[in-house]
Amino acid sequence: MDVIIRSRSVPVSKALQEHCQERAHRALLPFVQQVDRVELVLVDLNGPKKGLGQACRVFVKLSRGGSVMFATSGRDFYAAASQATFGAGRHLARTLAKARTRTHVPVAPLGPV
């Protein structure tokens, strides 16, 4: 499972990068066979105003095709990344559970014609 961390106009420290990778691995560990790549995008919602409001978007690409996206905001990037990866794990669990319960129901043959 590859974890990619990107940011838009915000420098990412080594500590923040390690935090994001650790949280992503912890949240998505039960699904390591189904997950191909995880991308975290860190965005400062207030821009140059330097106010509160950092967001993290998590994109999970599944190995059999398809993807899951979850986004949240927090008081800082550490909190936003923690909430987003945890939410992405829950969302992925629901998505995979729905996929397992969908089964093909065969149509009963009509009797003798």
The domains located in the chain, with CATH, are 2-97 (3.30.160.100)
Which region among 5-9, 10-14, 97-101, 106-110 has the lowest average model confidence (pLDDT)?
A: 106-110
Average pLDDT over residues 17-33: 93
Tokens, residue 6 = 């990107």
Residue 105 has pLDDT above 60, yes or no: no
What is the distance between the alpha carbons of residues 90 and 14, in angstroms, rounded to a whole number? 27
Query: Residue 107: what pLDDT?
Result: 58
Q: 84 and 56 in contact (C-beta within 8 Å)?
A: yes
Residue 103 has pLDDT above 90, yes or no: no
What is the distance between the alpha carbons of residues 31 and 36, in angstroms, rounded to a whole number? 10
Q: What percent of the chain has pLDDT over 70?
A: 83
CA angle 104, 93, 24 (to 5 degrees): 140
Average model confidence (pLDDT) for the chain?
Answer: 85
